[in-house]
Amino acid sequence: MFVISSLSASVLPLDADIALENDDSFSFATNNSQNDAGSGGDAGNNSSSAVSLNGGNSTNIGWMDDTTDPDDLYFISIPSGYIINVTLAFSNTIDFDLYLADTALNFAYDSSEFNDPLEEVSSANTNISNGGVNIAIYVTAYSGYGQYTMNITFWSPNQVVQNDAGSGGDAGNLQSSALNLTSISSTYTGYVDNTLDNADLYSIFIPSGYELDVEISIPSNLNIDLLLIDGNWTFYVDQDQGITGGNGSVTTNGTNQSAGGVMTYFGLVTNSGSGNYSMSISLVNPNMANLPSVST
């Protein structure tokens, strides 16, 4: 499991589609060596063997067989005021079904059985649409065997409309969906939420001869980690962890990226709280005047 908020500034075991989140997991499972949702084994089919998932949006990989392993059971808590959506994707040669149920498996709040190869359930328009409840995600193999991808997302009817860095939406939390910024010194704003949107990831090309400075300002109710990652997604260039309110910063100055001419990533990972942040990006040539500053 990749837990980016707890790793040291060393090598990151990252795939191109690993999420920059503080408790997301991305792992693979096979019949010989299962690792359902990064649990290290098989998600069982009862309360004593179910896999408990951390809250927050996540991507989870699992494996089932209609003969030897027909059921996978997960428990998760829906925060008060939030709705959960779960999708299950798998090969079109197999038939898996998906249920959102009470933890005793007495009844289903929602079910999806005939939409192969993508099943989807939600707590919206159910009697648990206000959240504040523990529920079960029940996956069954009707026929066939193989790997599945289960995506879990939370949202609130009162969720903030986002416009990270003037993009008109949310900065992604995957390397492949990082919000690319123009190579110019600028000031941006964004929004993060520890439950719904606990990471914002940006990418920027640093011109040759330039250094990158990133400064962040957050409200007192937010606690975040600010991370600067190399363009190959293999190590932390710099990090400022546990920022609670006030300001934090990361830089390529004094690192092996200080010569520029490279793509780099930087991101915010929330540990608690929610709110807007202000972000100042400076591209500095130690031997020249700074690039022009533009505010958006």
Q: What is the pLDDT of residues 108-151, one digit of tens each?
A: 999 999 988 999 999 988 999 989 999 999 999 999 999 999 99
Please state the domain count of the chain. Answer: 2
Alpha carbon distances (Å) from 119 to 71, 98, 140: 15, 6, 11
Please indicate, yes or no, if residue 10 is contained in any of the structural domains.
no
Where does a domain end: 99, 133, 155? Answer: 155
CATH assignment of the domain containing 149:
2.60.120.380
| Beta strands, E only, 231-288 | 236-251, 262-272, 274-284
- C-alpha to C-alpha distance for 98 and 102, rounded to whole angstroms: 13
Alpha carbon distances (Å) from 247 to 14, 21, 217: 28, 21, 4
Main-chain dihedrals φ then ψ at residue 175, nearest 5 degrees: -55, -40
For the chain, the average pLDDT equals 85
Output the pLDDT for position 160: 75
Its domain, for residue 60, covers: 15-155
Instruction: Count Cβ neighbours within 10 Å for each residue of 21-53 and write b for 16 or more, e otherwise.
Output: bbbbbbbebeeeebbbbbbeebbbbeeeebbeb
- Which DSSP state fits 255? S
Output the pLDDT for position 3: 27
Short-list 235, 234, 216, CA closest to 226: 216
- 19 versus 2: which is more confidently predicted? 19
| End-to-end Cα spacing for the chain | 37
Output the pLDDT for position 174: 84
pLDDT of residue 92 exceeding 60, the answer is yes
Output the pLDDT for position 21: 52
Mean pLDDT of 225-238: 96
Where does a domain end: 133, 155, 177? Answer: 155
